[in-house]
Chain A
């Protein structure tokens, strides 16, 4: 099995990397993303200790359909999954990808589709933005450019989010989380 991901940051950001704004195009009902040579590692299994440096490239098109649903914040518990608000459509996506070890010892190409599986797209606000008034213009009318900094307030190191280790069981269910590449039986 292979599991390509960019890792978890020390503060807990899960498998997320920042990319150029122009890698994503939002037009009408579709969002397309084109990425090349994103640095990842192959952990060889979910949560594994493998650490083979690799890169992935992919092109994906997400397409929304139907009527949107308005999502309201229904919990004030910061640990709850329901502390956000937004406007979401059901969505499908299809894509192609390639993955390769940096040392050239492994490479693969493939394609995937969300057909029959859950998907959605839309605008959302969470955390300190969750209580803002609904604004359908949402993320498409944002004034800042990538990397631009606007406001600042002090926060000391003690306020940093806790790390994954040594945490008690908080909440949530074991998800059906995908493994990016898995050997065929």
Chain B
């Protein structure tokens, strides 16, 4: 291989490395969260006032490094299945829409690259 081809190859590799990443940007969870025994840490807080909640201003988000619109609320309701059996329903459904810095799988072996992206998420 000539010296010129080697240089051209090196420049091409550098060019490829400079291209924007096209992979999915996976969100990264909050580093903190609530501990629920016997399961351990859940990377989520539970805003609210009173026993069992984390306080009025506890972070309602489940994704770290985010700048988003957030909506959440604890609910109660009822449901009926196909056999007519009734159920009590409790939900905590949260919606997140905006920018976040997540992780793109890169280089193999579990390596990741941080990347900024826009997305909409729902916590069910």
Interface residues on B, range: 35 or more
Contact A16 B121 (CB under 8 A): yes
* Residue A174, interface by CB 8 Å: yes
Contact A126 B64 (CB under 8 A): yes
Interface residues on A, range: 35 or more
**19 contacts across the A-B interface (CB closer than 8 A):** A9-B29, A11-B26, A11-B28, A16-B27, A81-B57, A108-B80, A119-B74, A122-B70, A124-B60, A125-B66, A142-B98, A146-B117, A151-B101, A155-B103, A161-B28, A164-B39, A173-B34, A173-B54, A184-B85
Residue of B85, B103, B117 ringed by the most chain A CB atoms within 10 A: B117
Q: How many residue-residue contacts, CB under 8 A, span A and B?
A: 361
Contact A172 B76 (CB under 8 A): no
* Residue B9, interface by CB 8 Å: no
- 8 A Cβ contacts from A150-183 to B: 150-157, 159-161, 164-165, 167, 169-183
Contact A108 B81 (CB under 8 A): yes
How far, in angstroms, from A16 to B94 measured CA to CA in the complex? 9
Q: Distance (Å) between the CB of A98 and the closest chain B CB?
A: 9
